[in-house]
Structure 1
Amino acid sequence: MLEHKKSNPLIALLGAAALLMSAPAMAATAAAPTSAAASVAAPTDTAAPAADEATTEDSSSTAAAPHAANVDFVSMFMGATVVVKLVMTLLAICSVISWVLLIMKLMDFSSLNRVTTNYLEAYRGARSIADINRISVSDEFAGNPLADMAAVATEEVQLSKQAGLSISGEHRDSVLHRAQASVAAVQAGLAKRLSGGLSFLASVGSTSPFIGLFGTVYGIMNSFISIAQSHTTNLAVVAPGIAEALMATGLGLIAAIPAVVMYNIFNTSISNYGIRSEQFVSELINSLSRQLDKGA
């Protein structure tokens, strides 16, 4: 018993020494997982700025996309070559003139038909050649083609009468013939007056597409030259030039289509008024012949 109790302190001393010797190793083992965790976390921290940079680049590219797509007529016109600019300017001027002619001709035909209707009502109420002349030369119907026709025809009859000719006898036919010649002269002037501006509309309608096509060909030619000079086939290099070139063709169609439509409308209006004037001439000559037969 005594020997056992004496040996206990020795065993305790040996155990303490073993613990002191194993403490550094245990500390190193405990630190190893911490270092590994730190090494795993480090790439994550390093990758975070890269992800931020990628997000920034994506946001900047997204923000730049609307700016790149913001292409309008003015920007394409300002970026076009001198020849294409001249073509587009010429087509724009022709289009504006065509619309001005449209407004003027519409107003002219509206006024012409209204005054003509009023004149025919007054003319059909006349009872003699003198009444027809008085109505035709009045300020109310001044400048109306039908009133001018009736005025020159009745003036011819009055001039023949003042010359002492037998207008209701042997000179009746010659008086009517001279009256018809005077009316024909007014009709010729009427045709010239009503057809004013139609030649311009016809020219714009027939040539504008080809003028625009010339601008397109020239612009696309410059785009291919840019490809050769830049040594690249990137579409972004040639797309602006091609868009500007195609805009010239678009302007040519914008100028041509309304001009053709206007030409057809006014040509029909002129034909309709021509038929109306022909009917009036027949009515006028019949009225003069009847008045001459009555001995007016």
Structure 2
Amino acid sequence: MFTRAMLLLCLLSGGIVQLSMTVHATEQPLSMVSTSEVTPELTPVVDTIVEQPVIVTTSSDAINATDTEHGFTEAAFDAHDLSPWGMYKAADVVVKSVIIGLLIASLVSWAICIFKSVQLNVAKRHAKKLLAHLIQSTSFAKASHDLTQQKSEALILLTATQHELCLSAAGPATDEALKERLIARLERVQTSLSANMNRGTGVLATIGSVAPFVGLFGTVWGIMNSFIGIAKTQTTNLAVVAPGIAEALLATALGLVAAIPAVVMYNHFSRSIGSYKAILTDILTATMILISRDLDRKNPQAKPLANLLNDDKKPVNIISKES
């Protein structure tokens, strides 16, 4: 009995050992499988945790890229010389031609201004002296005798008068016919002197009216080139657009610089030449007064001034009497 019990106990212990070995053998693959299954599941978590710094790094890169772009823009502006000379050098050939033409037109305007100012001042001063001389003279012969002391262009009026008197002296002449011939000749001489003084003012009028449109043409051409540059670079960055537009607007500015002074000069000279024409008209009138006075002295039908003023005829009473 005891022997049977010991044998059963040995069998049970052997079975338990074998069972434990079997269970241990079966748990090892399960642990390996579970480990292999868990590891892929944990991998995305690790990747996600690792990707968070990458997102932060991307934001900082965007900020750095923006700063870099601003730096490139400032560097591009620094690369363009936006002074007038720098814009001229960087401009297109057509814009350069417009700028050069407007500068030449401006120089021509100022040259005409200086020349016409000196010419008008000298001519007006001499014409006033000649007019004062004619007013103080008592006859045309006396006025002609002292012409060597005068240096005026208006002397051609007196020269034309002397020439007509010489031609009329070759044959018979009447007072009225002589006066008509003298007036016709002197008016033509006055017109010639006025036209000579107006010479050059037409250029000022042309520059004043055309220069703004020439500058506008240069501006349109420059802006067109700027848009072409935008299309080629496919960007609207100010570094690409602003220099071309600035160069284009320079042409408009120079057009106004050339036109505004030209218009002011033209108006000034128009008034001054009008004043000079008035002095020439006074000289013509003074000359005809001297000629008329000389003709009356030699006219047999002329009467003394005292007899003309003291006429025997009674004055007519123009006041109607009340009935």
TM-score with structure 2 length normalisation?
A: 0.66
Q: Which residue of 2 aligns with 1:165?
A: 172
Matches of 1:66 and 1:243 in 2, distance apart?
Answer: 12
The answer as to whether partners of 1:129 and 1:154 remain within 8 angstroms in 2 is no
Cα offsets for 1:45-76 (capped at 9, x unmatched) = xxxxxxxxxxxx9xx99x97995585311111
Residue 133 (structure 1) shift? 2.3
Equivalent position amino acid for 1:179 in 2:
L
Q: What is the deviation of 1:116? A: 1.3
Match of 1:101 in 2: 112
TM-aligned CA deviation for residue 262 of structure 1: 0.4
**What's the CA shift for 1:176?**
1.1
Q: Is the 8 A contact 1:154 1:179 kept in 2?
A: no
Which residue pairs with 1:206 in the alignment? Answer: 209
Asked whether the 8 Å contact 2:164–2:182 carries over to 1, the reply is yes
Structure 2: tracts of 5 or more residues without a match: 1-67, 300-323
Structure 1 counterpart of 2:50:
none
**Partners of 1:91 and 1:201 in 2: CA distance:** 13
Match of 1:155 in 2: 163
2: CA distance, partners of 1:286 / 1:293: 11
User: 2:98 touches 2:214 (CA, 8 Å); kept in 1?
Assistant: yes
- Please say if 1:114 is aligned against 2:125: yes
Amino acid at match of 1:165: P
Report the equivalent of 2:56: none
Q: 1:77: which partner in 2?
A: 88
Larger radius of gyration: 2
Q: Alpha-carbon deviation of 1:159?
A: 3.4
Distance 1:148 1:286 in 2: 17
**Correspondence 1:228 to 2:228:** no
Please list, as runs of the form range in 1=range in 2, the aligned pairs for 1:218-257 lying within 5 A after superposition.
Answer: 218-257=221-260
* 1:92 maps to which of 99, 103, 107: 103
How far apart are the structure 1 equivalents of 2:260 and 2:267? 11
Does 1 or 2 have the higher relative contact order (CA < 8 Å, sep 6+)?
Answer: 2
Task: Describe the superposition over 1:123-173 as per-residue Cα deviations: whole angstroms up to 9, x where unpaired.
Answer: 23323222222334x2x434512x211221133224323x1435xxxx111
Partner of residue 135 from structure 1, selected from 146, 159, 174: 146
> What is the aligned partner in structure 1 of residue 153 from structure 2?
144
Distance in 2, Cα, partners of 1:279 & 1:118: 12
Q: Give the partner amino acid of 2:162.
A: T
Instruction: Check conservation: 1:132, 1:154, Cα contact below 8 A.
Output: no
> Deviations 1:77-121 (Å, cap 9, x if unpaired)?
010000000001111000000000000000001101111122223
Cα deviation for residue 267 of structure 1 reads: 0.6
Q: Out of 276, 280, 283, which is 1:280 matched to? A: 283
CA contact under 8 A between 1:130 and 1:154: conserved in structure 2? Answer: no
Deviations 1:208-249 (A, max 9, x none): 000000000000000000000001110111111100000000
The unaligned stretches of length 5 or more in structure 1 are 1-56
CA, structure 1 residues 286+128, in 2 after alignment: closer, same or farther (shift >3 Å)?
Answer: closer
* Matched residue SS, 2:298: coil
The answer for the alignment partner of 1:216 in structure 2 is 219
* Matches of 1:281 and 1:268, distance apart in 2: 20
Call closer, same or farther: CA 1:70–1:89 in 2, change over 3 Å. closer
User: Residues 287 and 106 of structure 1: is their aligned pair in 2 closer, same or farther, counting only changes over 3 Å?
Assistant: same
Q: Do the aligned partners of 1:132 and 1:151 also contact (CA within 8 Å) in 2?
A: no
Instruction: Answer yes or no: is the 8 Å Cα contact 1:153–1:179 preserved in 2.
Output: yes
Distance (whole Å) between structure 1 residues aligned to residue 145 and residue 76 of structure 2: 76
* TM-superposition CA deviations, 1:236-274 (whole Å, max 9, x none): 111111000000000000000000000000011111111
| Structure 1 vs Structure 2 CA RMSD | 2.4
SS in 2 for 1:144: coil
Q: How many pairs are equivalent? A: 229
